[in-house]
Structure 1
């Protein structure tokens, strides 16, 4: 979205909506710093007070994070994602995993029905990126590819709300993967739940896709139990 000056000072709600759109449209990317206050004030033709109120509202919803002395960063792409991330901090890894069982199972079932050939091909490409990163000991790249794979399965479900809910796991999921990787004996390239899941989705076999998810997450639960 191109920010344009307003002829009158807009209401805080109007400015909030403009900032929200800049996030949701992808103009302002996740984890990136938004334009500095003077730039936004000039672009929107508003007062500093109005802008700060709008930023405060989006920070309260979890979409923005104000870092004193550093700027304001995009933390989530929607209010639901921001709220979810705040809630996850108050729960254990096992609680989060139990919720993931429900989301992953439904995502796999629906993806087996609705995924396009292009989506399946993209899943296989991500698994290859994931494999290459693990073998190269690029653990950050491995974790990112693993997360991108799961998000793509959720997107392939054809249910935008399920996709958005799944995205809300982003920060928690990524940090958990890296924490597990640092433990001795961790296998970063298990076939169950990944390669088998793509095979099931490609075959339009919803039951096999769900079973693959259960095997993978049961293995994760056992791993956490040994922590």
Structure 2
């Protein structure tokens, strides 16, 4: 018996999934409106609505009342990891982040390139400048800074896992700032400086110090 042909909803769902997976709509961004999706796919509104709903159910999209629908995971795997981490204790997630960041900082200090250095300096400076004027932007840049350090480690597996955990990391950063009301600018600056200087021991120590400071001002 030949396999059943995918339904129109299945085909539209797969089309939207590909747009997310190939980075057309990155994690954290809002997807096009329903009207635009109708034009993009050539399907009716009900079909588009069902396809979006399927990806919401899969954990890749999140509908936000009055704001739109946002990408929260770049793949089914990321969605699964995100659901697991979201159900974990906040303290456990913080400790996992510390383990990842300390090792990544050590590797980044050994392997960072000139492009990595320019990226880290740019994100660090923009993060600090925006802290008092645009807290949402500053929080996004905080996460971007830590990801840039992981990217500078040039360990593809580390970066892949970090990206899988990114939505939970973003939520964790947001909560830590709400709890501590601090930007830890000196600690972030010391971490970036150590990576730029190519000092693995200092980078690891700076990462540990940053998380020690966060933990000291954070309640589970």
**Which TM-score bucket, shorter chain as reference?**
0.7 to 0.9
1:212 pairs with 2:206: yes
Which contiguous aligned blocks of 4+ residues in structure 1 show a shift greater than 4 angstroms? Answer: 8-17, 38-57, 66-72
Higher helix share: 2
Whole-Å separation in 2 of the counterparts to 1:72 and 1:132: 29
1:187 equivalent in alignment to 2:182:
yes
Find the counterpart in structure 1 of residue 138 from structure 2: 142
Q: Which residue of 1 aligns with 2:196?
A: 202
Distance 1:139 1:49 in 2: 37
CA distance in 1 between counterparts of 2:133 and 2:44 reads: 49
C-alpha displacement of 1:153: 1.1
Aligned to 1:4: none
Quick check: 1:61 aligned with 2:55? no
1:131 aligns with 2:131: no
Query: Is 1:160 aligned to residue 164 of structure 2?
Result: no
C-alpha deviation, 1:122, in angstroms: 1.4
CA RMSD for the aligned pairs? 3.2
How many correspondences in the alignment? 215
Please give the alpha-carbon distance, in whole angstroms, between the structure 2 residues aligned to 1:53 and 1:99: 36
Kindly indicate whether the alpha-carbon contact (under 8 Å) linking 1:80 and 1:165 is maintained by their aligned counterparts in 2: no
Distance 2:155 2:172 in 1: 25
Superposed CA offset, 1:16-58 (max 9, x none): 543222112222243313452x765665466888767755553
When normalised by structure 2's length, the TM-score is 0.77
Name stretches of at least 5 consecutive residues in structure 2 with no aligned partner.
none
Unaligned 5+ segments in structure 1 are 1-7
Residue number in structure 1 paired with 2:31: 33
Shift of 1:68: 8.4
Q: What's the secondary structure of 1:188's corresponding residue?
A: coil
